[in-house]
Amino acid sequence: MLERYRHAKAMEEATRNTVFRAGVQPHWQADGSSFWYRNVLKDSVLEYIYVQPFAKKKQAAFDHMKLAEALGRVTGRTLDGRRLRISRMELGKSSVALEIDSACYRCDLGKYTCAVADSFPGRRYPRGNFRRSRWQGFSTDRISPDKKWTAFIRDGNVFIRPAGSDASDGEHAVIASAPDNNSATNTAAVQYTHNGTKEKPYGALAWSPDSRYVVGYHINPVEDSSVFYILTSASGTRGQLRSHPYKQPGDPFTTYEMHIFPVGATGAVKVNTEIIDFFDAPRLHWRAGDSRYFTYEKVDRGHQRFRIIEVDTETATSKTLLDERTETFIYESRIFTEYLPETNEILWSSEKDGWRHLYLVDGITGKVKNPVTSGPWVVRQIDSVDKKKREVWFRASGMHAGEDPYFVHYYRIGLDGKGLVELTPAKGHHTVTFSPDKEYYTDTYSQVDIPPVTALHRTQDGKKIMELEKADASAFFATGMRPVESFVAKGRDGKTDIWGVVCRPSDFDPAKKYPVIENIYAGPQDAFVPKSFMGSFSEMQSMAELGFIVVQIDGMGTANRSKAFHDVCWKNLADAGFPDRILWIKALAAKYPYIDTARVGLYGTSAGGQNALGGLLFHPDFYKAAVASCGCHDNRVDKQWWNEQWMGYPVGRHYEEQSNVTNAGKLRGHLLLIVGESDTNVPPESTYRVINALIKAEKSFDFLPVPGMGHSDGGPYGRIKKRDFFVKHLLGVDPPQRNAGEL
């Protein structure tokens, strides 16, 4: 066993930095028509490549040795041409501007001479995150769009005054939009409300585009209660008590009562619509060319209803344009809406047909004009919407029959649902980076056992221009590492494919019997089994080296499959996909006789910690040992936004019935609990409440609290104890005696 520990450490060292040319991060030049990227080669050698897509040309960006010599002459330092660390670079026909160690230089690539530059001439293209918040928040601009009025809050009440007159103390900002031509007729500030207070102020103001109205809210703020923890090893002789606000399931939200403040009037008009009692004040979407109407989005608490509501500012009335309801849940953070004001349309995502797809909605009537995408596959993410060409660019998975349904591919399609173009047809899991003008893109794709390939494509038709790089993993496999295996088996319904991966020891012997350890995380917010090339010495592989088969599985209840697949989690987090996971491991054992299903353990962190302990509590006949780190063991104790999304609202008996605390007395098998004492994600008390219940039930278990550590698997020491725990309880061998110097 000692030799196995030493071998695992040696393999970690031997496999470090053994995969080369594994990806391309293009740095597009200021003209947007060319880019450079950097390759990391053996012994940390760096190689810079310059690509001109229009010319189908790829070459070394410069003579690395000559450039190092030229830079050395101007810096007075000896630079290694094989390891130049260039952070930014702009290439010309015969020159280059570059930045190294925060210093800028301009170099002639004909004569290879360099001079210090005051600044870098190029520009960086920002990486956009297309997802927009549906909540306005409180960061606003006080001036009206036509620059003639100022709206502000004083002593909790709303005032409007002509712009240019004296400002008042206590003014807060308001949102600005497009200009118009209203004019100020006097210089006095008009007070619109009188019942605002410090405790219940008005706020979150927003101007209409024509500067005729301000929309705002009478706010009833809620201050979240705190959770507490103690830093036992802080400086001094006393522990330090710490706290932070933390909203738990069932806790109240700040509420917003919508009002309209017409310019030229003397009072507020309450909008005939529901008080907003979940999330923040919504972002407003004004109808193009007609500022009489705006819409906002509302998610009801409990995550079972989503609406787009229209408000008529002249009558202060509202009506529902779009209303989606479910018997289970609507995944709020994956609701996508894009407003097309020029055509009064809305692009909207929904799982109403059983799969997440896009729909084009009439922004006036709220009726669906047409599905944009459809079929037994999932839209994973929106990259952009081209309003002029009326196209949406998106990522999806599950469209390729016979392929892992989690592999992400990139597409574009017309808003009429026609003209689907696949940009990444090659088999594998894809990551695409577009040029700033989207004329070209780089596509890097791989599988868990197949190293990455990066190609350059033309966006117009998806045509491949050239292969840029093919990863070299020969040195990685030369160490004796075995490829990770992707394995699929049927789930609890006998029909649905369940996907996972398998890690084996590098000295694997099929004649032996191996215990199984599952790395579990069943959080419904995503899927978690790796899909890209696993060409590094992972935590799973490190444990496998000690004599285990280590697996990871996405069971039912996780995301990125059908709505029915996902719905298994609804008010049912204790399920954690265990019926599918157990069948998967048994199917693996049926194929490979060296799998020992009499010795199965599992480990996880956070929701995975909850799942790990849940395996012992709810499936003790299968799982024999578990390491649970920082677990959210009781969904009433964990964060509101995550738990209510899956467990629902109001908080019912099912919360208690599925709690690891409530069920702690059912414990069989071997358990190690780990918690960081300064965990601000999941309150440490979640683990301590389990411990309290275990003690009352007179159960045996191991416990590792880590002073000063936050939300973690226990860090390096926690991982040591996890390995030792499974070695003892699944292999039946005493772990190394570190105090005796055995390791």
pTM: 0.93
Give whole-number Cα distances, 191 to 28, 194, 214, in Å.
53, 7, 13
The more confident residue out of 122 and 200 is 200
572-608 burial: b if 16+ Cβ within 10 Å, else e: bbbbbbbbbbbbbbebbbeeeeebbeebbbbbbbbbb
pLDDT at 176: 35
Tell me the one-letter amino acid at 599: R
Would the pLDDT of 41 be above 60?
Answer: yes
Q: Is the pLDDT of residue 332 over 90?
A: yes
Chain segment 586-635, per-residue pLDDT in tens: 999 999 999 999 999 999 999 999 999 999 999 999 999 999 999 999 99
What does DSSP assign to residue 224?
P
pLDDT at 489 > cutoff 60: yes
Strands, E assignment, 169-271: 190-191, 202-207, 213-220, 226-231, 240-245, 255-262, 269-270
Which pLDDT belongs to residue 743? Answer: 87
**Three-state secondary-structure class, residue 344:** coil
pLDDT digits (tens, 9 = 90+) for 421-476: 999 999 999 999 999 999 999 999 999 999 999 999 999 999 999 999 999 999 99
CA proximity to 194, closest of 156, 228, 165: 156
Q: 88-124 pLDDT, tens per residue?
A: 999 998 999 999 999 999 999 999 999 999 877 655 5
The DSSP output letter for 354 is S
- Range 542-565 average pLDDT: 98
Decide if pLDDT at 137 tops 90.
no
Q: Express as a percent the part of the chain with pLDDT over 90.
A: 90
- How far apart, in whole angstroms, are the C-alpha atoms of residue 544 and residue 281? 50
- Mean pLDDT within 146-168: 87
Angle at which helices 578-591 and 607-618 pack, to 10 degrees?
Answer: 70
pLDDT above 70: percentage of residues in the chain:
94
Sorted by where each starts, the structural domains of the chain and their CATH numbers stand as: 21-117 (no CATH), 129-220+253-325 (2.140.10.30), 498-735 (3.40.50.1820)
Confidence tier at 136 by pLDDT (50, 70, 90): low
Helix (H, G, I), strand (E, B) or coil at 641: helix
How many residues make up the chain in this entry? 743
Query: Does the pLDDT value for residue 503 go beyond 80?
Result: yes
Residue 420: strand, helix, or coil: coil
Look at residue 31 in the predicted model and tell me its pLDDT: 83
pLDDT at 177 over 80: no
Residue type, 697: A
Q: Per-residue pLDDT for 131 more than 90? A: no
pLDDT value at position 709? 96
Is the CA virtual torsion 138, 336, 405, 493 positive or negative? positive
Cα–Cα distance, 104 to 256 (Å, whole number): 51
Residue 66 has pLDDT above 90, yes or no: yes
Q: What's the pLDDT tens digit per position in 594-605?
A: 999 999 999 999
Distance CA 506, CA 547 (A): 10
Q: Which pLDDT score, from 0 to 100, does residue 184 have?
A: 43
Q: Are strands 226-231 and 625-629 parallel, antiparallel or unpaired?
A: unpaired
Closest CA to 84 of 707, 312, 70, 205: 70
Query: Is the confidence at residue 667, as pLDDT, over 70?
Result: yes
Residues 382-386: contacts with CB within 8 Å, 24+ apart?
A: 382/130, 382/131, 382/336, 382/338, 382/349, 382/358, 383/130, 383/410, 383/434, 384/128, 384/130, 384/438, 385/338, 385/340, 385/347
Which amino acid, 524? P
Task: Please tell me which residue, 645 or 125, carries the higher pLDDT value.
Answer: 645
- State the Cα–Cα distance between residues 367 and 361, nearest whole angstrom: 6
| CB contact at 8 A, 297 and 305 | no
Asked if residue 183 has pLDDT above 50, the reply is: no
pLDDT tens per residue across span 385-425: 999 999 999 999 999 999 999 999 999 999 999 999 999 99
Amino acid at 419: G
* Residue 30 pLDDT class (50, 70, 90 cuts): confident
Task: Specify the pLDDT at position 122.
Answer: 53
- pLDDT of 125 strictly over 60: no
pLDDT, tens digit (0-9, with 9 covering 90-100), for 141-152: 579 999 999 999
The pLDDT score that the predictor gives to residue 289 is: 86
Confidence check: pLDDT of 685 > 80:
yes
Rounded CA separation 397/415 (Å) = 19
Of the pLDDT bands very low, low, confident and very high (cuts 50, 70, 90), residue 179 is very low
The conformation of residue 727, written as its DSSP 8-state character, comes to I
Please, what is the average pLDDT of the chain? Answer: 93
Model pLDDT, residue 174: 44
